Amino acid sequence: MSRVIEDAVGGEALFVNGAIGALLTPLGAPVWEVDAQHPIGNGYTVPEGAAFPGDTATSVDKNFRRTAVIGEQLGLAALDLLDESGVSLADATMSFEREEFFTRVSNIGFRVLGVVDEGTGRAGLGHEPIVLYDCEPGEPTEETCTDVGTATETDPEIELDVRKGEFVTTEVGELTIGPIDMVFIPGEIQSTLTMGLPADFRDDPERFYVEPEAHAVGDEFTIPGYVRNLFDDEYTWMIGLGNDQLGYIVPISDYRLTCTADIELLGGAPGTCAELAAAGELPLAEAIPAVECHAAAADPGYLAGNFSETAAAAIEEGCRYGQGIGNQLGIHPEDHYEETNSAGWDLADDVLGALMHLTGVDDDTQVNPDFAGYSPLNPPPSG
């Protein structure tokens, strides 16, 4: 990509990650050798007679030539946009603002990897050891949270040292260069949280999910707002993994954790989760919805007041171990890998809340009527 742009216009081209949550990658996408007889079209529909990169049998086979073709076409697309609507910036003003906030580290795997090795002074997660906090119930603030440094404790169930503290500080940022807003997001954020929900997202989930039954759909899928709606500059760019790397940022309405009551390693028995769900005691057969975890964390009496003793214990255990166990054992609810590599279920709400505070725009609109939400299941016109 960079070579194509630099060869055409000179200077230096820079690629930065955008909203790459939910594994927005070209993995599995059709790729072909683009030429006059076999144009790029809509980027999804393979022209008849097209050759595949590396002389492979199909358009999805992995090879280095495939990577080069993707980069070349991305560079050409950028050049086309520059020709159509590019502007030159001269004497542009520059500013940077940031908003720090607390967020819950619900993923016990992050706290295991965060344990500092006394010999090296380094942890298994992050460039520098993170500082965690114990926070009182309610909104975490500097007044209600206590810095516990890098202290550890031994978890009795998994018999591993884990970091004390369940909260971390992070930040969002806004770098403005003339008419450009670069919004720094501390993780891999889903495009629904940056662009909003497509106009027909709730009415026609089959167009957006391979397995809609594995997700919250319709009115059950909610978001706390979307990033582009908070900025009014001419150009708004998302910078994913900007200034921090807290993993995937997933709306809590569709955030699901492994139901660990099935896992013998934790003293469970196979089939327990399905039995509880069939009896109406758990909301799902193979997953714990994070909305229940959030409610339980906010109100210590929530589980006992709303679930049987057995179901309450299953939810409590799943909330604590579901993400970490799901990651280590590869056991996670269908189509919910991202939650196993996410710092916590509150990230989406906390990131949007921090951006609203940063911009002074308090707008929780969810649907973006101008967003088509194109995908392999819902491709753009091929003309």
Q: How far apart are CA 261 and CA 259, in angstroms?
A: 6
Torsions phi, psi of 133, nearest 5?
Answer: -135, 145
The predicted pLDDT at position 379 comes to 82
* Centroid of chain to Cα 64: 27
Q: Report the chain's mean pLDDT, rounded to a whole number.
A: 93
* 160-168 average pLDDT score: 97
Distance CA 31, CA 312 (A): 48
Output the pLDDT for position 233. Answer: 84
Q: How confident is the model at residue 237 (pLDDT cuts 50, 70, 90)?
A: very high
Mean pLDDT to the nearest integer, 155-169:
95
Contact criterion met (CB below 8 Å) for 157 and 313: no
Q: Please state the rounded mean pLDDT for residues 218-246.
A: 94
Under the banding of pLDDT at 50, 70 and 90, the label for residue 383 is low
- CA dist 19 and 295 (Å) reads 28
In whole angstroms, give the CA distance from residue 182 to residue 149: 32
Among residues 162, 122, 130, the alpha carbon closest in space to that of 149 is found at: 130
| Percent of the chain's residues with pLDDT above 90 | 80
Model pLDDT for residues 280-299, shown as the tens digit of each residue: 999 999 899 999 999 999 99
CB atoms within 10 A of CB 159: 7
- Is 277 a residue whose pLDDT tops 90? yes
Residue 302: the pLDDT is 97
Task: Give pLDDT, residue 217.
Answer: 93
Where residue 90 falls among pLDDT bands split at 50, 70, 90? confident
Confidence grade of residue 209 (pLDDT, cut at 50, 70, 90): confident
* Higher local confidence (pLDDT), 20 or 364: 364
| pLDDT > 70: percent of the chain | 99
Cα distances (Å, whole numbers) of residue 267 to 62, 317, 358? 41, 11, 46
All residues at 6 or more sequence positions from 173 whose CB lies less than 8 Å from its CB, including other chains:
96, 97, 98, 99, 183, 184, 242, 243
Name the residue among 25, 45, 49, 23 with its Cα closest to residue 35: 49
**Predicted confidence (pLDDT) at residue 117 exceeds the cutoff of 90:** yes
Question: Given the structure tokens 């909301």, which residue do they identify?
Answer: 283
pLDDT at 206 exceeding the cut of 90: no
Q: What band does 377 get if pLDDT is binned at 50, 70 and 90?
A: confident
344, 107 in Cβ contact below 8 A?
yes
Please compute Rg for the chain using Cα positions.
23
Can you say how many angstroms the Cα of residue 126 is from the centroid of all Cα atoms in its chain?
Answer: 18
pLDDT of 23 over the 80 cut: no
Average pLDDT on 214-235 reads 94
Between CA 278 and CA 273 the distance in angstroms is: 9
Burial grade of 198 (CB within 10 A; 0-12, 13-18, 19 or more): buried
Does residue 59 sit in helix, strand or coil? coil
**Average of per-residue pLDDT across 250-270:** 94
Supply the pLDDT for residue 131. Answer: 94
Contact 338, 250 (CB under 8 A): yes
Q: Look at phi and psi of residue 210 and say left if phi exceeds 0, alpha if psi is from -120 to 50, else beta.
A: alpha
Give yes or no for residue 376 having a pLDDT over 80. no
Distances (CA, A) of 211 to 132, 206, 251: 37, 8, 17
